[in-house]
Each structure stands twice: as C-alpha cells, then as structure tokens.
Amino acid sequence: MKYDIVSIGDTTIDAFIELHEASVHCSIDHTDCKLELSYADKIPYEKLAMMPAGNSTNNAVGSARLGLKNAFITSIGNDNQGKQIISELSKEGVDAGFIHIDKNSQTNFHFVLSFQAERTILIKHNKFVYKLPKNLDTEWMYFSSMAAGTEKFHKEFERFLNKHSKIKLAFNPGTFQMRMGVSKLRGIYKRTEILFLNKEEAQLVLKMQTRNIKTLLAGMHKIGAKIAVITDGRQGSYASNGSGKVWYLDEFPGAKIEATGAGDAYGTAFTAAISYGKSLAEAMAWGTVNAGHVVMFVGPHKGLQTKEQIEHYLKSHSRFRAKEI
C-alpha cells in the first residue's frame, strides 16, 4: 500500500487536568516560569479528560484530517490504554497495522496540568522495541519524540532513510533526541527535508546562546535541514529554505484555552502544505491556522482542521500571510 506520510515515534494516553488554584512565577524577562501549587494540600481541579496523544500520534491524526493517506509506526502495551490508542487512530482513518504490541510493557501515560492557557506535563516514557517494516511505500515520514534506550533504533532508522532516498523526512526532535546531540543523529539531520524546533530547542540542538532567529535558522540548515522552521509561541514563527530569505508570520488571532499539541499541529499542517505543493509562506499560514484552532480546546486533537477548513479560512482572511523579513 502506498502512503502519503507515515508517522513514527512514541505514543501515550494523556490525562488532561484543568487547574484553577495555582500560580505562576517568572523571572524578570519571563524566560523561566514556575507553576506553584500548595504543598501537602488537597488541590481541586475543574475537569479531567483522557485521550491519545504524543507528538507523532498528533501528527498521524492531524495528517489524516488534512486528507493525507497515512500510517503510524509505534509501540504500545497490551493493555486498555493501548487498545484505546488503536481504536481512536482507526476511527480517524490512520492505518494502525504497523503498531507493535509489547506484552511486557505498559502503554505510556502522562498527566497534563492545564493552567492559564499553558500546560505542564508529567511524563514517563517506557522502553519499547521499535520495528520498521521491510517494505514501506511512502512519500513522507514524520519522525518525532522517542524515549531513552532507542539509540540503536535511531541508527537503524538512519540506514532505512539512506536505503530509501526518495522518502522525504519531516523531523521534530523530542527532548531525548535533542539531548543525543547532533553528532549522533547527523545522518538523520542530513536527510531532513523539514526541521521543526522552537527557539529554545534550536539553541539547545545547535549549542548556541544567541537569540537571533536568522543565525539559528542558518545553523539548522548547516546541520542538514533543507527547510528550517522555528516556532516562538505567541511571538509567531519563522522559516527559511536556505536561500538566505527568511519569512515571518504572527500568531493566530484567536482564543487560547490550552496549548498541548499546538506545535505538532503547526508541523503537521506545514508538512501537509508542502506535500500538496504549497509555497513555504503558504505552509506557514497552514501551520499557524491549524495550531491556532487546536489551542481553542483542551487536548491536541479536537481543534485539528481539515484541508477545506484551512483553505476556507485563508481565502476569507487574505491578509493573513507570511512576510519576508
């Protein structure tokens, strides 16, 4: 079977907990903020919702909503949480045939503390065995967060990419992958068509202190990315195709309820737009509209847009376009 895109990475069930009795304390430049709860106390919460999540899971669901034929490569436990993930993905039209069920592990389970439109996530990544199919016919792969202990798989994935040189890779590295360092993942970065990082992640990956966006984008190209994208939260996003030109687009002008999955929604729609033959500036608009609708709801999937919805919004808001800076 031929796919438009195949998502690969860890998956999880996220429990979204909406808090109302908490406080946030930041440094003077607002770069280091802490969520504060009363110690040794009972903390009431507003709502609890549990649903499949994870960077690559969000991409799989988002890609399906955007009309791309896709499959998901991941590993889960032989438990109710794993069954829920397969069920939800199947409902979205994602091919779950490549999902490996590990009878000796538990499906990942995270707690998402939502407060003032931002989220703090308590995470635990269990160790899983990952398996690549022998034959995979796809135009794109979207690779994201994996846990510690998958170093061997990353080398296997690099060999797979080199063997299948026509596959284009969108890479949104997770925390462990960023901490692995560029040298260990150099082969993957060199095969990356689109690299997604936020500003702080770009500084970490490139080992740069600078906050200059153009310098960071140039660094991302230097390690291999053909298209480099930096998201900067409420400050908007930047992108470059290596030509020396940089485009900028402001954040989406909508309500903000909860931010989980916003970055994934951006990367998903950006990649889909490029796969549909859109320009870099158009892809930024696709990503921003998708992310902007996701933050209107709790959880990473409810606000995900269809291709028709994004095109309708952009047709109705002709001024919402990325500009060269």
DSSP string, 60-88: HHHHHHTT--EEEE-EEESSHHHHHHHHH
List Cβ<8 Å contacts ≥24 apart for 42-46. 43/19, 44/20, 45/17, 45/18, 45/19, 45/20, 46/18, 46/19, 46/20
Does residue 25 lie in a domain region? no
Reported in sequence order, the residue ranges of the chain that DSSP labels E, i.e. its strands, are 2-8, 12-19, 23-26, 33-36, 45-53, 70-73, 75-77, 100-102, 109-115, 118-122, 137-143, 168-171, 192-198, 227-231, 237-240, 246-249, 323-324
pLDDT at position 32 is 79
Does residue 47 lie in a domain region? no
Secondary structure (H, E, C), 102-148: ECCCCCCEEEEEEECCEEEEECCCCCCCCCCCCCCEEEEEEECCCCC
**Amino acid letter, 135:** N
Does residue 29 lie in a domain region? no
Q: Which of 185, 184, 193 minimizes the C-alpha distance to 138?
A: 193
Taking the model in full, what pTM does it have? Answer: 0.91
pLDDT in tens, the chain (325 residues): 899 999 999 999 998 898 888 888 888 777 678 988 888 888 888 888 888 999 999 999 999 999 999 999 999 999 999 999 999 999 999 999 999 999 888 999 989 898 887 878 888 878 888 889 988 999 999 999 998 889 999 999 999 999 999 999 999 999 999 999 999 999 999 999 999 999 999 999 999 999 999 999 999 999 999 999 999 988 999 999 999 899 999 999 988 888 889 999 999 999 999 999 999 999 999 999 999 999 999 889 999 999 999 999 999 999 999 999 9
Instruction: Compute the distance between CA of residue 146 and CA of residue 2 in angstroms, rounded to an integer.
Output: 25
Does residue 118 lie in a domain region? no
How many residues make up the chain in this entry?
A: 325
Could you tell me the residue range of the domain that residue 164 belongs to? 2-12+54-108+126-324
pLDDT at position 56 is 96
The strand pairing partners of 112, in sequence order, are: 16, 121
Spatial contact of 174 and 143, defined as CB atoms under 8 Å apart: no
Question: In degrees rounded to 5, what are phi and psi of residue 263?
Answer: -65, -40
pLDDT at position 298 is 85
- How far apart are the two ends of the chain, measured CA to CA in Å? 42
Instruction: Compute the distance between CA of residue 4 and CA of residue 275 in angstroms, rounded to an integer.
Output: 8
Does residue 232 lie in a domain region? yes
Does residue 46 lie in a domain region? no
Query: What CATH code is carried by the domain that includes residue 136?
Result: 3.40.1190.20
- What angle separates helix 199-206 from helix 213-222, to the nearest 10 degrees? 50
When divided into structural domains, the chain yields a total of 1
Does residue 164 lie in a domain region? yes
**Amino acid letter, 29:** D
Q: Is 57 exposed, middle or buried (0-12, 13-18, 19+ CB in 10 A)?
A: buried
pLDDT at position 152 is 94
Does residue 43 lie in a domain region? no
